[in-house]
Amino acid sequence: MPPGGFSRTRNVDYDDDDAYDDEDDYSEEGEGGDGMTEHDKEQMRVGTTRVRQGLGELSEFTSDAQIQEALWHYYYDVDKSVVYLKNKLGTTEPKQEAPKKEKATSRFDQAASVADQKAPTTTGKQTHPQSSWLEESAYRVAYLSPPPISMPTNEAIGDFFWDVPWGNVPLHRLGVITLDTPRYRGGLLGGSSKLAALAAKRRKDREEAEAAATKANSEANAAVAMLDKLTVKSKEPTSNLRGGDTERPSRARYPGRRRSRSRSPPPEAIDEAILKPAVQQPAIVCELPAQRAKASMFASTLCGGSSTAARRPFPTLEVFPAPYTIYKEYDSAKAFASPSPDDIKKRVQGEKLAQSVEKLAVADEPKVKSKNLNVVQEFEKSGLKRMANFVVVGHVDHGKSTLMGRLLYDLKVIDQRSIDKLRKEAENIGKSSFALAWVMDETSEERSRGVTVDIATNYFETDKTRFTILDAPGHKDFIPNMISGASQADFPVLVIDASTNSFESGLKGQTKEHILIARSMGMQHIIVAVNKMDTVSWSKARFDDITKRMTAFLTEASFLEKRITFIPLAGLTGENVVKKIESSAAHWYTGETLLEALERVELPKRNLQKALRLSVADVFRGDMRSPLSISGRIDSGTVQVGDTILALPANETATIKAIEVQDAPVDWAVAGQIPTLHLTDIDPIHLRQGDMVCAPNAPVKLVKAFTSKLLAFEHVLPMPVEVFRSTLNSPGGIRTLSARLNKFTGEIVKKKPRIVKPGEVARVVVQLERELPIEEGMRVVLRERGRTVGAGLMENVA
Amino acid sequence: MARRTFPRRNNAPSGGTCAPVFARTIKEPGYLQTLRPSRSRGSNELRKIFLQTSIIPSASGSAYLEIPSSSPASKSTLIPPTSSLKITASVQGPKPLPRSVPFSPSLLLTTTVKFAPFATRHRRGYIRDSIERDLGVHLETALRGVIIGERWPKSGVEVVITILEGDEDGWWGDSGNDGSVNRGGWGLLNVLAGCITVASAAITDAGIDCVDVVCGGVAALTRDPAARDKKELVRILDPCPAEHKEIVAACAVGYLASRDEITEIWMKGDVGADPNALVEGATHAAVGSLAVVKEVLLEALQAKFQGPMEGNESGLKRKAQDVEMTG
Ligand SMILES: Nc1nc2c(ncn2[C@@H]2O[C@H](COP(=O)(O)OP(=O)(O)OP(=O)(O)O)[C@@H](O)[C@H]2O)c(=O)[nH]1
Ligand SMILES: [Mg+2]
C-alpha cells in the first residue's frame, strides 16, 4: 500500500484531532504583503535621504526603490547600503542583484555552486532547487493507480480491514495518492508576511547568485575538497535519482546529470528522458551481489506464499458464508426459536442462585464509627485557644519568608541547631542572607532560587492564640498559589520593603495585587509590616511616607483605616518582631511589635452552626493507612471522624477516617481551623486542589452563571475572564454589566453602564464555561491574562 | 544484562532459548569441535538474503528480512550451527504530530529497535535495554539523512524494528555452559546492517520520499585459521561470527549506493593501520545487498500493478522501475 499510507493514516487518525487545519498556516506565505509599520516607514524615509547623501553623484542613477530595497536588507544600515549600491552601480550591471548575506548560503551550497560553475552549464534561469523539487507534486505512481476507492468513515475502520489478508493486499484495497499541490512552498512556515517576503527575496537572490556563480572563493573550494574526502572511492557520475527531471544542489557535483538535462529538447524528448534514465555507473560495483534466498519455513509462514511471482490472485470475498448454511437442515432447524440449554438451566436454578449470591456478600471492612459528638458543644467545652490563620503577602523579595523564619526562631519553635544548620547550608551555596527564609522555603528549588514558590504552612502558639502561618509566594507567576493561601486565611500580614525604590516597585506590582486579592477574599484587618527598616537606618520620615501612601491605597481598596496597623521592623535582625527595638535610631517608635499586633487582631466570627464548607487547598496520597488526604480551611460548620462528606464538582461522597489539626490527631474540627482529613471510600481522581467539600445534606449547587457584586481593579467591560473561587477556576466571561453601585450604601447609581472604572463597584452577570460550586456570599476573583481585574461577591444564581 | 520481569506476565524461565547442551559434547572432547561451522563461501561472497515487503497490512509500510543460516544443519545435534538473522520492520505514518509536540518543519523520525525475548540464545527482557536503544540511535542516524523530511511538516513517522532472531556474537560451542556467547558483540553489527536494509525497504514500501535506498553492509577482519603464523588477517564481507574463531575488527555501514554516500558507520575492534579498507569492504557488502533489495522492491511493485496494467505492460513496467529506482 505504499503511497496510500499517508492519506489513509490521516483519514483514520483524525477522530481525536478533529480540527487539524494545515491550510491557514501556509496560506499567507509567499505573498509580499506590505506589513510595514509606521516606524519602519519613518526609518525608511530617513534612511533613503541619508543614502542619497552618501551616494553623492551616483545618487541620480539610483531609484528610490533600489535604495529602499538595500535598506530593507541591511536593516536600515545606511553605510552598508551605500557601499552595496556603489558596488552595484560601479559594475553597471543592469540586472538587479540584491545583497547577499554570508550566512544565508551554507557551505554546502557554496560548494555546490562552485561545482555548478565547473560544469558546462547552458541552462538559462534556473529555478531554485528546493522549490522546483517540491513543486513537482505528482508521484508518478499516481498514473498507475486504479480508480480511487472511497475511504470508509472512522467507525467503519474495523469492518474495512476485516478481511484484508496478511501481506499480498489486493489492489482494490490499496490507497491512492491524489494529486495535491504541496502546501509547503519553501517559504517560512507560518511566518509573518514580512518575514515571508524577506525569505522569498533572499531565495531569489540566492538563485541568481548561483546562476551567476561568481563567488568562487577559496573557502568554497575547501568545502568541495572536504566533500571529496568524504566519499569512499571514485566520483564517477552516479545514477540519476528522480528520473532526471529534478535537481538538487547537493547533487550538482555530478556533471553528467546536468548535461543530460540541458541537452534534452522540448516536450517529447523530455518524456523520453523520464522513461529512460541515463544508465550511469554506480560508484561501487559489487562483483558478487547477494543472492536471493528462498523463503524459509518461517518466512513463508509469516509472509504467506513462497515467492511473489507465484502469487495467486486473491479472491475477493463479498460475503463469507458459514459452512453449514448449505445444508437443508439448517434452514428448517430454527435453532434459536426455543430457549437455549443455558436458558433452561438458568430458569431452573434461577431462584436458588439469586439467594446464594445474596448470602455471598463480602463482609464490609469495618466502617469508620462516628462518635456522634455534638461538635459545637465539644468545642465550647474544650476551651480551646483562639485560632488565627494569617497569610503573609507582599511583593517578591520583600522579606516575607525571612520575617516568618525570624518569628518562629525568636519564639523558639525552631531551635538554634536547625538554624545553625540552615545557616551553614545557605552559606555553602552563597546565599547566607536567605538562611531564615529557608525555614519556610523547604524545597530545593525554592532554596536555590531564593524565591518562594508554593504556600508554606507553619504553626506557633502564644498564651492566648494558636497561629497558622501561610507564607505566600510574592512572584507574580505564582499568584494562583497565593490565592490558594489567601483563601485559607483570616487576615493578611503585608510585608513591605522600606528600602528605596523597592517599596515603589512593589506598589506597582504584587503589593497592590495581593492587597486587592486579600480584600476581595473578604478580609478586613490588615497588618502592614514595614520591613528592612535597617537599610534606611530606621528613618522616621521614610516610615511616615510609606504609612501615608499605603493608607491612601488601602482605604481606596476599602479597608477601614482603624483596622490597618503599621509596624516598622527588620526581619533579618529581628527588631520589633518579637522583641521591641532597642536601637536609639528608632526611639520615635513606641508602638507594638509584630507579635503583639498579631494577638490583638480581631478575628471574623466562626459560623459553627452553618453547614459544612471546606475548600480543598491540598490533596495528597499518604501511606497505606491513609491513602488519600485533603487539607484546607473550614469556612463554616464542623466535621468529625466518621462524617460523610460530599466533594464538588465531582459530586462524590467520602468518609472521614481521621482528622489532624496542626499535625496532631483530633476527633473533630471546626470552622476557622485548617485540618487534614484522611478519607476513605473515594477515588483520588474525584478530588483536586480547589474543590469544595460540603455536607451531603446541604450541598453547594454547581452554577454556570451568577450575578455578583464586583469591585473593579481595572477597567471592566463585558469580556472574557478567568473566574477563581479559591483555587478552583474556570474560564468564563462577564456577560452583562447590570448596574453601577454606590461603594458604601450599595444603591444603584447607574443602570447598564458601558464600562466600570477601577475602584468602582458594580453588579455584573458572570458566565462560566465549567460549572463551579459557588453559593451566595462566596467570594470570587476575576483575572484576565495574569492580571486581577476584580473581586466579586456572589449574590445569586443567574 | 539485568533482565526486569513484568509482574503481570507469565515470565519465561530465565536462561537460554535454545536446546540444551548434550552430554556427548562434554564426554568426548573432540566431538564438539567437529560441529564447528566454517565459512564455505568466498571472502567477498555474501550470504543469501530473503526479503519481503508489505507483510503487515495495518502499517503504512513493512518488510521482513531473513538471512538464512549458510552452514548446512548438522545431523548429529539439534542445535543449529549458526543463527539466521530475522528482522521485521514496520513503518507507521507519516501522520500528524499530536498537539503537545512543538512545531516541527520537517518529518520527525523515531526508530525503535527491539529484540524479541527469544531472539538470542540468552533470553532478552521485555523492556528495551541499552543495547537496543543504542541500535535505535544508530538506525536513526542511518535513516535520517535519507528521508526527504521537508515534505511532511508537522508530522512524524515511526520505524519499528523487531528482531526475531539476531546474529550471535560467536559460535555456541565456544561459550560457557549457559549457551550465551559474549565475545565483543560482533553479531550486533550484522543486526544493525540488517536493520538498516529492512527499514529502508519498509520505508520505500510506505512510499516515503527518500533520496536513495540506503543499505547496510558489514565487513570484518579475521585471523586466517589456515595461515599458521596467526599474523595473517583476512578481510571478509558479511561475516557470520559463528564461523570464525577470532574476529579482529568489524565495521557496519549504511550506504547510499547511487550517491556514494555513507550515512552511518559503526566500527569495532582493532582496526589496524588501514580502516578505510574495512569501510570500503562494508560498502561493497551494502551494494551487494542492495541488489536483492532492488529486485524485491521491483517485484513487489510489479505484483501490485499487475492486474489492471496487463494491457500496456511493457511501457508501464519501465515507469514502475523508474519510480522504484529513484526511491
Ligand atoms: N537588610 C535586610 N534584608 C532583609 C530583611 N528581611 C529580608 N531581607 C532580605 O531580603 C531577601 C529576600 O528575602 P525573602 O524572605 O526570601 O523574601 P520573600 O518575600 O519571602 O520572597 P518571595 O517569597 O520569593 O516573594 C533576602 O536576601 C533577605 O536576607 C531585613 O529586615 N533587612
Ligand atoms: Mg518567600
Question: Which one is predicted more confidently, B50 or A316?
Answer: B50
For residues A440, A444, A448, A452, the Cα torsion angle rounded to the nearest 10 degrees is -40
**What is the reported pLDDT for A280?**
54
**Smallest Cα–Cα separation from A671: which of A641, A697, A644, A636?**
A636
How would residue A416 be classed by pLDDT, with cut points 50, 70 and 90? confident
For residue A395, which atom of ligand 1 is closest to its CA?
A: 25
Using CB atoms, which residue from A235, A242, A275 is nearest to B318? A275
Phi and psi of A731, rounded to 5°?
A: -65, 150
Section A764-789 average pLDDT: 84
Mean pLDDT to the nearest integer, A575-602: 84
Tell the burial category of B48 from Cβ atoms under 10 Å away from its Cβ (0-12, 13-18, 19+): middle
* Residue B113 reports pLDDT greater than 90: yes
CA of A473 to the centre of ligand 1 (A): 12
Put simply, the answer to whether B305 touches A182 (Cβ < 8 Å) is no
Please confirm whether the linkage preceding B57 is cis (ω < 30° from 0): no
Cell 533470553 maps to which residue? B123
CA-derived radius of gyration, chain A: 40
Where residue B66 falls among pLDDT bands split at 50, 70, 90? very high
Number of CB atoms found within 10 A of residue A624's CB: 5
- Centre of ligand 2 from the C-alpha of residue B216, in Å: 59
Q: Three cell numbers at A536?
A: 534606611
Is the pLDDT at A481 greater than 70? The verdict is yes
Confidence (pLDDT) at A159: 62
**Nearest C-alpha in B relative to A139:** B323
Burial group, residue A6, by CB count within 10 angstroms (0-12, 13-18, 19+): buried
> Confidence class of residue B326 from pLDDT cuts 50, 70 and 90?
very low
pLDDT at B272: 80
Ion ligand 2: residue ranges with CB closer than 5 A: A 400-401, 452
* Spatial separation of the C-alpha atoms in residues A708 and A790, rounded to whole Å: 11
The confidence score (pLDDT) of residue B112 equals 94
Asked if B303 lies within 8 A of A164 by C-beta distance, the reply is no
Quick one: pLDDT at residue A318?
58
In this structure, of A323-332, A349-358, A513-522, the range with the lowest mean pLDDT score is: A349-358
The pLDDT mean for chain B works out to: 81
Instruction: Look at the block and give the residue holding cell 491550510.
Output: A23
More confident residue, A238 or A634: A634
Kindly report which listed range (A339-343, A622-626, B200-204) carries the lowest average pLDDT score. A622-626
Chain B CB contacts of A2 below 8 Å: 60-61, 204-207
Inspect the interface and report whether the beta carbons of A295 and B52 lie closer than 8 Å: yes
Residues near A490 by beta carbon (within 8 Å), at least 6 away in sequence: A388, A389, A390, A523, A601, A603, A604, A672
Return the pLDDT at B290: 92
Does B187 score more than 60 pLDDT?
Answer: yes
Q: What is the tens place of the pLDDT at every residue in B146-180?
A: 999 888 888 999 999 999 998 888 777 776 544 44
Ranges A660-664, A739-743, A776-780, B1-5: which has the least confidence: B1-5
A434 CA → ligand 1 middle, Å: 7
Cell reading at A303: 509472509
Q: What is the DSSP string of B3-29?
A: PP--TTS-PPPSSBSSPPPPHHHHHSH
Give the closest residue (by CA) to ligand 1 atom 32. Answer: A532
Is the predicted pLDDT of residue A12 greater than 80, yes or no? no
CB contact under 8 A, B284 and A243: no
By most ligand atoms within 8 Å of CB, the mutation choice from A392, A572, A576 for ligand 1 is A572
Q: How confident is the model at residue B146, as a pLDDT?
A: 92
More confident residue, A66 or A472: A472
From CA A172, how far away is CA A175, in angstroms rounded?
8
Most informative mutation of A396, A398, A402 for ligand 1 (most atoms within 8 A of CB): A402
Helix (H, G, I), strand (E, B) or coil at A784: strand
Instruction: Supply the DSSP string of A484-512, one letter for each residue.
Output: HHHTT-SEEEEEEE-STTHHHHHHHTHHH
> Which three three-digit cell numbers place residue B30?
573432540
Alpha helices for chain B (secondary structure H): 23-27, 29-34, 130-144, 186-206, 275-309, 313-326
pLDDT at B197: 95
Q: Which three cell numbers stand for residue B314?
A: 511493457
Least confident of A338-347, A490-499, B90-99, B252-261: A338-347
Hey, are the CB atoms on B58 and A177 less than 8 Å from each other?
Answer: no
State the pLDDT confidence band at B216, using cuts at 50, 70 and 90: very high
Measured from the Cα of A436, ligand 1's closest atom is 15
Nearest CA in chain A to B212: A241
Q: Which residue has the CA at smallest separation from atom 30 of ligand 1? A: A532
pLDDT at A64: 80
pTM for the complete prediction?
0.44
The DSSP line for B62-111 is: EEEEEE---SPPPSS-SS-SS--EEEEEEEEEEEEPPTTSPP-SSPEEEE
- Take residue A724 and report the three cell numbers written for it: 477563581
Ligand closest to A575 (CA) is 1
More confident site: A301 or B90: B90
**Alpha-helical runs (H) found in A326-474:** 328-333, 341-359, 375-382, 400-410, 416-428, 437-440, 444-449
Confidence band of B183 (pLDDT split at 50, 70, 90):
low
**More confident position, B77 or A764:** A764
Check residue B271 and give its pLDDT: 82
- Tens of pLDDT, residue by residue over A507-521, are 888 888 888 888 877
Residues 6+ apart with CB under 8 A from A13: B95, B96
Q: Is the pLDDT of residue A116 over 60?
A: no
Q: What is the pLDDT of residues B264-299, one digit of tens each?
A: 999 988 888 788 889 999 999 999 999 999 999 999
- Of A6-20, B81-95, B217-231, which has the strongest mean pLDDT? B81-95
CB contact at 8 A, A249 and A109: yes
The pLDDT of residue A250 = 42
Ligand 1 first shell, C-beta below 6 A: A 394, 396-402, 433-434, 437, 450-452, 473-475, 531-532, 534-535, 570-572
Phi and psi, residue A131, nearest 5°: -75, -35
Round to the nearest angstrom and report the end-to-end CA distance of chain A.
58
Name residue, grid cell 552516479: A238
* B258 CB neighbour count, 10 Å cutoff: 22
A184–B257 C-beta distance less than 8 A: no
Give residue B9's pLDDT. Answer: 66
How far is the centre of ligand 2, averaged over its atoms, from the C-alpha of A437 (Å)?
Answer: 6
Please name the member of A290, A302, A308 whose beta carbon is closest to the beta carbon of B300. A308
Taking 60 as the threshold, does the pLDDT of residue A105 lie above it?
no
ipTM: 0.76
CA of A595 to the centre of ligand 2 (A): 19
* Per-residue pLDDT at A142: 40
Question: How does pLDDT run across A196-251, given as a tens digit for each residue?
Answer: 566 667 777 777 766 665 444 445 455 444 544 444 444 444 444 444 444 444 43
Between these two residues, A19 and B81, which has the higher pLDDT value?
B81
Q: How far apart are CA A660 and CA B169, in angstroms?
A: 62
Query: What was the pLDDT predicted at B318?
Result: 43
The three grid cell numbers given for residue A565, joined into one nine-digit string: 496597623
- Cβ separation B55–A161 shorter than 8 A: no
At A140, is the secondary structure helix, strand, or coil? coil
**Domains of chain A and CATH, by start:** 5-33+92-344 (no CATH), 376-600 (3.40.50.300), 613-694 (2.40.30.10), 702-797 (2.40.30.10)
Per-residue DSSP letter, A767: E
Candidate from A252-256, A621-625, B154-158 with smallest mean pLDDT:
A252-256
Highest-pLDDT range among A3-12, A193-202, A361-370, A554-563:
A554-563
3-state DSSP call for residue B272? Answer: coil
Residue A612, pLDDT score: 86
Predicted pLDDT at B297: 92
Residue A322 has pLDDT above 70, yes or no: yes
**Model pLDDT, residue A786:** 74
Q: Which residue has the higher pLDDT, A15 or A453?
A: A453
